[in-house]
Amino acid sequence: MCIIFFKFDPRPASKTAYRLILAANRDELYNRPSKIAHFWGINNEVLSGLDLEEGKEGGSWLGITKRGKFAALTNYMEAKQNPDAQGRGFLVSNFLTENVDSYSYLKKVSSEGHLYNGFNLIAGEFKAKEDTVCYYGNKGNPAPIFLKPGIYGLSNSLLETPWKKLQYGKRIFSSVIDQNLPPERMVQELLHILNNEESQLPDPTLKSQVEGYRLSTLPALSAVCVRSPNYGTRTNTVILIDSNGNVTFTERTMLNSDISQWKTSSFNFKLLD
Q: Which helix (H) or strand (E) holds 214?
A: none
Residue whose C-alpha is closest to residue 206's, from 217, 196, 195? 217
- pLDDT(79) > 90: no
- Give the mean model confidence (pLDDT) for residues 151-164: 98
Is residue 37 within a helix (H) or strand (E), and if so which, with residue range? strand 34-40
Say what the pLDDT of residue 192 is: 98
Phi, psi angle pair for 144, to nearest 5° = -70, 165
What is the domain-level CATH number for residue 193? 3.60.60
C-alpha distances (whole Å) from 124 to each of 59, 136, 206 are 18, 12, 28
Average pLDDT for the chain: 95
Q: Is the per-residue pLDDT at 175 higher than 80? A: yes
Judge contact between 31 and 254, C-beta under 8 A: no
Burial (Cβ within 10 Å: 0-12, 13-18, ≥19) of residue 47 = buried
Q: What is the pLDDT of residue 1?
A: 78
Strand-pair category, 119-126 with 18-29: unpaired
Residue 16 reports pLDDT greater than 90: no
> How high is the pLDDT of residue 48?
98
pLDDT (tens digit, 9 = 90+) per residue, 251-265?
A: 999 999 999 999 999
pLDDT at 96: 98
pLDDT of residue 168 exceeding 80, the answer is: yes
pLDDT score, position 4: 98
Per-residue confidence (pLDDT) for residue 75, from 0 to 100: 97
Pairing of strands 69-75, 62-65: antiparallel
Predicted local distance difference test score (pLDDT) of residue 135: 98
> In percent, how much of the chain has pLDDT > 70?
100
Query: Torsion angle of alpha carbons 177, 181, 185, 190, nearest 10°?
Result: 0
Say if residue 15's pLDDT is above 80: no
pLDDT tens string 20-54: 999 999 999 999 999 999 999 999 999 999 999 99
Domain encompassing residue 216: 3-270
The number of folded domains in the chain is 1
What pLDDT, on a 0 to 100 scale, did the predictor assign at position 14?
80
pTM over cut 0.85: yes
Tens digits of residue pLDDT in 209-253: 987 777 778 999 999 999 999 999 999 999 999 999 999 999 999
pLDDT value of residue 251: 98
d(CA 125, CA 246): 14
